[in-house]
Amino acid sequence: MLIRFNKPYGVLSQFTPEGRWRGLKDFIDLPGVYVAGRLDADSEGLLLLTDDGQMQARIADPRFKMEKTYLVQVEGVVDDKALAELSRGVTLNDGPTLPARARAMAPPASLWPRDPPIRERQSIPTSWLELVIREGRNRQVRRMTAAVGLPTLRLIRTAVGPYNLDDLSTGSWKVITA
């Protein structure tokens, strides 16, 4: 069994809540399923869960380099220089990243509101980009955008390999049928 879950902001990639963060048990009440890959509590979007250990390894293990697609709202204006740097790969404190696919984009039209809303400063514009990576380092997308001078304000994973959010509303889940 494979489950697509649209993880809201403030929810951990584990069933047990911790501190101010909620757990998956608030949304998914199925015994025997486990998270395949993680998504930080302050990130939103596609989280996959499965009851199949081999499938979990194929999805989560960095050796398989499964592509992950993110929509990223950043502070500042996405320009060609930043996109070129992201596309080549940037050097982080734990070494260089693999090249990414990066493109500027218009704000997504059918996006759910975030609760709580992001902080916005009147003197600094925000913009959006799509970033596709094949790694899964800790807070990698946030660190990559910061490295090119564009701090992340909102991060939404829309796809992992062939699996995507489609029309899944925030906080809801669906079993993927083969």
Contact (Cβ atoms closer than 8 angstroms) between residue 10 and residue 39: no
Query: Is 40 noted as a catalytic residue in this protein?
Result: yes
Residue 28: which of 43, 38, 16 has the closest Cα?
16
Given the DSSP bridges, would you call strands 44-50 and 152-160 parallel, antiparallel or unpaired? parallel
What's the CA gap between 36 and 50, in Å, rounded? 7
User: Within 13 Å, how many C-alpha atoms sit on residue 30's CB side?
Assistant: 16
Which one from 29, 40, 52, 94 is the annotated catalytic residue?
Answer: 40
Is the bond preceding 107 in cis, omega lying within 30 degrees of 0? no
Catalytic residue ranges: 40
